[in-house]
Amino acid sequence: MRTIPSNERPERTQILWVTLVLIAAYLPLAGHLALQISAFVGLLFAIRLASLRWSAVLPGTWPLAALTLIGVANAAVTYQGWSGQNAGTALFVSMLVLKLMELRRKSDIRLVATLIGFLVVVEFLFDQSPWLVLYLGAVVLGGIALLVDLNGGLGEARRRGAITVAVRLSLQALPLTLILFLLFPRLSAPLWNLGVDPNKATTGISDSLEPGAISELVLNGELAFRARFEGTPPAADRLYWRGPVLWQTDGRRWSAGEGITNSGPAGALLETARPIDYEVTLEATDQRWLFALDMPASVPDGAFLSPDHQLIARQVVSAVKRYQVTSALDYRTAAPDPARLAAGLQVPDNVTPRMRRLVEDWQGRSNDDWALVQAGLQFFNRESFHYTLMPPRLGANPTDEFLFETRRGFCEHYAGSFAVLMRMAGIPSRIVLGYLGGELNRVGGYHMIWQSDAHAWVEVLIDGRGWVRVDPTAAVDPSRVDNSGASRMLGAGPSVRFTLEQADAIARFVRNMRLFADSLDAAWQDWVLGFSVEDQLALLERLRLGELREYGLVALMLAALGLTLGILVVASIRERKPLDPLQAEYARFCGRLAKIGLDRLPNEGPMDYAGRVVAQRPDLAPTVERFMELYVPARYGPDDSGDALVALADLLSHFRPRPARQMPDLLRRPR
């Protein structure tokens, strides 16, 4: 092995430092990665820290190779392969921490410090809170300070010096960072397809409906999206946020259905009224659908409208996404294609005779389809149906059991059974998943739609009216809504489905604080996480450079960067030249005379100046001549000027010339 020069060998404190920075950088990941990964990484950290005291602990070449294999296998076994964000991160972290085992040269530490930057970026794939930004900012600062310390040559007070230098660098880098962040051209679509982690659980509603699916969501206290209306927002019970549309059922589970795809001509609206514009900031769903109010009448960039009037993004929403939509609150849809019409009448096999009798009863009492729908809704209202988040378990035929025995259920039970009954009556119907309502945040002026607002409703096809929304859950008598128990635990506050009483002042205060915190979070989402190409172009538009598009961004970015760097450079190297003490005295002397109108001319030497002053003001002659006797030899002579300096200062302390009473124009300074 080649010998390492002594100044390339890392110091023990530097090894400790890099280990601590890496531990700090790893900590936020520990919550996201599997326990086995943290155990392996923790073991390596422990070995490294112990080796600072007992160097024999450090593994040699073969044990290190074995450890590497264990690390690779550990990540592979934990995540069953290499694909996916978690597996990749686990592998990267394991290898990075393994590098701690061989820090022979300073450049090894530099490499680790550099890769910590990459680790930080990876961590933002898991969590994007402002607190994490602050925390990792401090971690990165520690890494920069480490690089400064590794470079050395700081002389005395080096540790504090390294941190001071790192802080100064960071502060100077902040304006540049801001410029780059605002103006660096972004991609509107990814360069390569993102491997969506198959093991990663998606949040929010899914593309199928099973008993218990939504009640699970309701207990999830997370935010689904925010919506900001332009103008007056609609009433909360009109806020049906449309998501996936389900056609097929086996009597238990609803799914999109075979042969029903999102491609094809967009669902047409024959008539629209009451348009409403709004902006949605959608949290990452790892799905492609975008939520919009019934019915979306416009399509945001990078999305399309499916035949079922659902907005679909062209890319998976893996990060916060902001989009503008116009919806029509009143609308009339076109008739569906034959395949959809057939799917809308498909009835599961497990239909029971009493279900058939029920539908036949309704058919006998109704003249047309719409009357039959009303009869169905009245059934839910009149019979003792209860609305509860914790329905009893249902057996093999949930629809039948729910309708005739338990009669306790949630929106999924109501929508599912209602759609089946309508189909049995020959009315094409389908289920729509989405959210209902939303909580107005008065502080931020927007609506918050929580996962607990997840909802399922039915659309029936009525001749001449197209698809009409019917919400059987809303038909349940409000007195039979169970608003105790689980619904009390909801973090989401009141929804239109429950009328929870606003409790006392403390509860209101807590609620307001929560709204305020959410406004901050919304600002973070809007201005940092959701900052996009559109915002950049809007900024450019405001600067009247809109036509230049991306080129304008680049030009503006380069100009701003250059200007800022120029200012930084000038500020760094500019140094005020300290005036020679003698010259300072002379400047004071000239200043006193200038006050009485006897300014020194730029081209005038001391002797000429003194001559002119004496000629104009003979009364000042003694002091001026004395000054020159002291000043000229001290300034231009070879001797030490220390004594002259004291004498000059003494002389000047009594020199307060007054303006002449009558100053003839002739004697004024020449112009």
Partner 1 sequence: MFNWTRFRARRFSNLFRRVARGGDGVARVGSRQIYILPTGNGLRFAAVLFVMLLGSLNYQNNLGLLFTFFLASVALVAMHHTWFNLLGLSVQARGGQPVFVGDDTSFEVVVGTEGKRARYDIGIPAGETRHQSIAIPGRDSGTIRIAQTTLRRGLAALDEVTVETRYPLHLFRAWCYVKTDATTLVYPKPAQVAPEPGSAAGDTEPRRRQGSEGMEDYLGPRGYRDGDSPRQIDWKAYARERGLVVKQFGGDEGQEVWIDWAGLTAADPEIRISVLTRQVLDAAEAQVRFGLRLPGLEEAPGRGAGHLQRCLTHLALYDHANDPLQRAA
d(CA 560, CA 567): 11
Q: Does 562 bind partner 1 (CB under 8 A)?
A: no
> Least CB distance from residue 305 to partner 1, whole Å?
22
Catalytic entry in 411, 447, 453, 518? 411
Q: Does 499 bind partner 1 (CB under 8 A)?
A: no
Q: Does 194 bind partner 1 (CB under 8 A)?
A: yes
Identify the residue among 121, 396, 506, 666 touching partner 1 (CB under 8 A): 121
Among positive and negative, which fits the CA dihedral 216, 478, 469, 342?
positive
Q: Is 455 known to be catalytic?
A: yes
Q: Does 93 bind partner 1 (CB under 8 A)?
A: no
Q: Does 196 bind partner 1 (CB under 8 A)?
A: no
Contacts 24+ apart (CB under 8 A), 481-487: 481/386, 481/387, 482/386, 482/387, 482/388, 482/389, 482/390, 485/388, 485/389, 485/390, 486/215, 486/218, 486/219, 486/389, 486/390, 487/218, 487/389
Q: Does 202 bind partner 1 (CB under 8 A)?
A: no
According to the 3-state scheme, what is the secondary structure of 137-175? Answer: HHHHHHHHHHHHHHHCCCCCCHHHHHHHHHHHHHHHHHH
Q: Does 5 bind partner 1 (CB under 8 A)?
A: yes
What is the contact mask toward partner 1 in residues 319 to 358, using x (rule: CB under 8 A)?
A: x---------------------------------------
User: For residue 159, what are the CA distances in angstroms to 149, 165, 245, 641, 668?
Assistant: 7, 10, 62, 42, 63
In the complex with partner 1, which residue's Cβ is closer, 8 or 337?
Answer: 8
Identify the residue among 20, 43, 72, 111 touching partner 1 (CB under 8 A): 111
What is the contact mask toward partner 1 in residues 652 to 671, using x (rule: CB under 8 A)?
A: --------------------
Question: Strand 429-436 relative to strand 303-305: parallel, antiparallel, unpaired?
Answer: unpaired
- Considering only the stretches 50-58, 130-138, 602-610, 660-668, report the one whose residues sit in contact with partner 1 under the rule CB under 8 A: 130-138
Closest CA to 93 of 35, 139, 25: 25
Taking the CB of residue 267, how many other CB atoms lie within 10 A of it?
20
> Least CB distance from residue 207 to partner 1, whole Å?
23
Identify the residue among 9, 27, 69, 184 touching partner 1 (CB under 8 A): 184
Closest CA to 214 of 403, 44, 370, 410: 410
Q: Does 529 bind partner 1 (CB under 8 A)?
A: yes
Give residue 316's Cα distance to chain centre: 17
Identify the residue among 1, 7, 501, 603 touching partner 1 (CB under 8 A): 7
d(CA 338, CA 325): 29
Task: Name the strands in the sheet holding 303-305, side by side, starting at the edge strand that comes first in the sequence.
Answer: 289-290, 311-313, 303-305
In the complex with partner 1, which residue's Cβ is closer, 4 or 66?
Answer: 4
Q: Does 554 bind partner 1 (CB under 8 A)?
A: no
Considering only residues 44 to 63 of the shown chain, the ones binding partner 1 according to CB under 8 A are: none
Q: Does 117 bind partner 1 (CB under 8 A)?
A: yes
Phi, psi angles (nearest 5°) of residue 194: -80, 130
Q: Does 305 bind partner 1 (CB under 8 A)?
A: no
Q: Does 174 bind partner 1 (CB under 8 A)?
A: yes
Phi, psi angles (nearest 5°) of residue 128: -130, 30
Q: Are 436 and 450 in contact (CB under 8 A)?
A: no
What is the contact mask toward partner 1 in residues 563 to 582, using x (rule: CB under 8 A)?
A: --x--xx--xx-x-------
d(CA 17, CA 158): 14
Q: Which residue has the tokens 């002579």?
A: 637
According to the 3-state scheme, what is the secondary structure of 211-222? Answer: CCHHHHHHCCCC
Catalytic entry in 309, 455, 518, 526? 455
> Least CB distance from residue 642 to partner 1, whole Å?
19
Identify the residue among 44, 91, 100, 136 touching partner 1 (CB under 8 A): 136
Q: Is 504 known to be catalytic?
A: no
> Least CB distance from residue 559 to partner 1, whole Å?
15
- Considering only the stretches 165-173, 220-228, 231-239, 325-333, report the one whose residues sit in contact with partner 1 under the rule CB under 8 A: 165-173
Taking the CB of residue 568, how many other CB atoms lie within 10 A of it?
14
Closest CA to 13 of 152, 192, 118: 152
In the complex with partner 1, which residue's Cβ is closer, 321 or 430?
Answer: 321
Q: Which residue has the tokens 């029903």?
A: 260
Residues recognised as catalytic: 411, 455, 471
Residues that bind partner 1 (CB under 8 A): 5, 7, 107, 110-111, 114-115, 117-118, 120-121, 124-125, 128, 132-133, 136, 140, 144, 147-148, 150-156, 165, 169-170, 172-174, 176-177, 180-181, 184, 186-187, 190-192, 194, 318-319, 528-532, 565, 568-569, 572-573, 575
